[in-house]
Structures are given as C-alpha cells and as structure tokens.
Structure 1
Amino acid sequence: MTMTVLERLDAQINKLKHDAKKFDNAKLLDKNRHFRHKQQLFDPHLFSSKSLLLADYVDEIADALSNMPKMTQRNSYTFAVEKISLQLEAIVRVLKATPVWAKENQATRKKYYKKAVQQVMQSSHELYKELSEHHEFERRLNEMVSLRRLQLDKTSTEQASKINLEILALHGRLGRCRKAISAIEDKIQRAEKAK
C-alpha cells in the first residue's frame, strides 16, 4: 500500500530525530565561533524554537505534524505541508554541512531526504493543481452553457436546433468534468485516510 503524505512526513521526521541526536551529541556548534553568540540555529520565520540543539527543531516539526489542519481546510493544509517540508529541508542542509553527515554515507541520505520531500510536495501539489484546473474547466463550461442559452432565446427555429445540440454536447463535457473532479477529490481523501 502507498504511504500517505502524513505517513511519509512522519517517517522522515523519525529518521531525522536519530540524525539530530547524533549531531547534538557531537557538540559541533560548541566549536564554532559563529554560533557561540547566537540563540537559535534558524530564521525565526521558519521555526519558533530558540535553541542550538537540532533535536528541538525536529520536535517542533513533529508537533506541527501532529497538529496538522484537516484535509478539508485545503489552504491551511497545503500551507502546513509546505512549511513542514521547508523545515525538513533546512535541517537536512545543516546535517549535510557537518562531518557527522559525511561519515554517515552522505549520498544515500541526501538522495533519500530530497526524494522524500519532493514526493510529499509533488503528490500534494499535483492533486490540488489538477483539482483547480478541473474546477476552472467546469466554470468555463458552465459559462458556455449560459451563453448558448442566451443565444437560444434570440435565435430562429432553424438555428435553435443547432444551439440545442451544442448545449447537449456541453452538458456531456460538463458531466465528464464533474466525474473527474469527484475522482480527484476521492484520490485526495484516499491518500489521507489510507493506513
């Protein structure tokens, strides 16, 4: 069975918890003059934690994941997924820049995290983008139907049958479009509910 977006993020966070502990235990930042006077590792816009321990930031991401908005709140949900992905990327960048990371088979880990973040973003973005495109298509078809109906009122009997056929064809396309919208919405819900 395919993993849901949330399951993928959770798996990444668990992997990062282990790496963050190793990073913190190595006390690499204690040896770095630049960090001695800092109170936090990351930009305050990205994390609210104020710490020089990487594990604290991973915990913040884990908390954000457990308090994710519901799928029905599309904008909030998408924003939350994007923010978590950015946070994960930021932590991966710190780990990649350290000797701890280099010793731990850098290429494999780099590929794993990059691919996982891309998959999370791609599946979420693509489904919502597809849904948005179909809603826009549905709106345009409805406009075309309304336009043809207005033409129908002002036309001769001869032209009326032609316009009626066009309206019928547009309704057929509208039906297929709505069916596709339902299928995409089901796909989004299945992705979130599948265990």
Structure 2
Amino acid sequence: MSQALNKLNSKLEQLGTQAYQFDNAKWFDKNRYIQNQPSLFDSHLFHTKSLLLSDYVEEIKLTLKNLPPEQNRHAYQFAVEQVGEQMQAVIKVLKSTPVWAKENKLSQPKKAKVYKKAIQRIMQSSHELYQELSQNHEFERRLQEMIDLRRAQLDGANAEQNAKLNAEILALHTRLGRCRKAISATEEKIQQLEKQGNR
C-alpha cells in the first residue's frame, strides 16, 4: 500500500514539473476567455482559484498528504478518487499544449495507466479488508443470535430436547470462536496496512 502511495506521489512530482513548465510558457496569456475566468476548473473539483496549473498540483499534494484514516473508509475512498479526478483534470489541460505532446508522445498513455493502477491498488487493498471485516462481524452477530435463541428454548424443554439444544449451542460456539479468530486476523491486516501507509 505504501508502495502504491509512493508511486502516486512520484507521478504527482512529475505532474508538478510539467505544470511549472506550462505556467512559465504562459499559454493562457493570450486567451481572453480564460483570463476572465476566476478559476481553471469547476469548484466541485478544486477549492483553488487560480490561472496557474502549479497551484492546483499543490492542492492535490495537500489532499494526498492529508488522506483521512483508512478505518473511515468512505471518506478515505472519496479522497483517493478525488485525487485521481484532479490529476486527470490537470493532465487534460497539459495535453492541449505542445510541451506535453513533445515530452509525452510515447510515455503518456503508460503514465496515465500507472497512476490509475496505483489508485486502484490502494482502494482495493483497504476496501476488500473492510468488506471482509464487515462480513465477519455480520456472521458473528448471526451466530450469537442463534445461540441466544437456543438458550431461550432450553426453558421448558424436555430432557431429549435439552440434550439436542445443548449440542447445537456447543457447535455454534465452535463456529463463533472461528469467526472471532477471523475478525482478529483481518483487524491485524488492517493495522499493518495503516502502519505501512504512515511510514
């Protein structure tokens, strides 16, 4: 996971260099329409209001640096997807210029795929683990309900029914124990991912 974030940061550094070159070339200076705009992008995509691409790359870097904790998976997923959309928006502007066309004639499609894959890897690793954890907690809840139900049925049961219910309770407890072990193992994996992400 840390490796995927590092690759994303690396691609962002390259994007920053290209944005700086773009700004220095002053591509928008002769474009009256753009000069009259308060911002290059829609407000839902960037908070930044600027006519310099470098400012937008800085916002992406800040977003990536301050990703929400992975346990808050909806906020984390939204933030990573936002980074992907923002990078694509900046690349779209760069692609319209001769600088991008010359420097990225051969490598651009590959670069786009690399950072997309990096985002997918981060999303997949955390999303799958939290999904697994959620499923295991649901199994745990159901097993506990089944145990409670059979315990309630013990009241007023005859000797034969009592023996049958106790055998079922014992079997359910065994399954519950395995389920709780799986929950602990998944939680441990999530902690390891978080440690890697914080390095």
TM range (shorter): 0.7 to 0.9
Q: Distance in 2 between matches of 1:114 and 1:96?
A: 17
The equivalent residue for 2:12 is 13
Structure with bigger gyration radius: 2
> Secondary structure at the residue paired with 2:44?
coil
Q: 1:85/1:131 Cα in 2 relative to 1: closer, same or farther (>3 Å)? A: farther
Q: 1:140/1:120 Cα in 2 relative to 1: closer, same or farther (>3 Å)? A: same
> Secondary structure at the residue paired with 1:28?
coil
> Secondary structure at the residue paired with 2:139?
helix
Structure 1 residue 75: Cα displacement: 4.8
Structure 1 residue 147: Cα displacement: 1.6
The letter for the 1-side match of 2:170 is L
Q: 1:133 aligns with which of 132, 135, 142?
A: 135
Structure 1 contact 20–58 (Cα < 8 Å) conserved: yes
Structure 1 residue 49: Cα displacement: 0.6
Q: How does 1:25-174 map to 2 (within 5 A)?
A: 25-30=24-29, 32=31, 34-71=33-70, 73-103=72-102, 104=104, 105-174=107-176
Q: Deviations over 1:130-173 (max 9, x none)?
A: 22222222222222222222222242221222222222222222
Q: 1:165/1:93 Cα in 2 relative to 1: closer, same or farther (>3 Å)? A: farther
Alpha-carbon RMSD across the aligned residues, in angstroms, is 2.7
Q: 1:185 aligns with which of 184, 187, 197?
A: 187
The letter for the 1-side match of 2:42 is D
Structure 1 residue 110: Cα displacement: 1.6
Structure 2 contact 84–116 (Cα < 8 Å) conserved: no
Structure 1, unpaired ranges of 5+: none
**TM-score scaled to structure 2, two decimals?**
0.80
Q: 1:151/1:4 Cα in 2 relative to 1: closer, same or farther (>3 Å)? A: farther
Q: Deviations over 1:103-151 (max 9, x none)?
A: 3122211211221121122222222222222222222222222222222
**TM-score scaled to structure 1, two decimals?**
0.81
Structure 1 residue 10: Cα displacement: 3.0
Q: Distance in 2 between matches of 1:115 and 1:78?
A: 15
Q: 1:23/1:83 Cα in 2 relative to 1: closer, same or farther (>3 Å)? A: same
Structure 2 contact 140–176 (Cα < 8 Å) conserved: yes
Structure 2, unpaired ranges of 5+: none
> Secondary structure at the residue paired with 2:129?
helix
Matched residue count: 194
Q: Distance in 2 between matches of 1:64 and 1:19?
A: 19
The letter for the 2-side match of 1:49 is T
Structure 1 residue 92: Cα displacement: 3.8
The letter for the 1-side match of 2:12 is I
Give the % identical residues: 56
Q: 1:139/1:89 Cα in 2 relative to 1: closer, same or farther (>3 Å)? A: farther
> Secondary structure at the residue paired with 2:2?
coil
Q: 1:172/1:3 Cα in 2 relative to 1: closer, same or farther (>3 Å)? A: same
Q: 1:4/1:165 Cα in 2 relative to 1: closer, same or farther (>3 Å)? A: farther
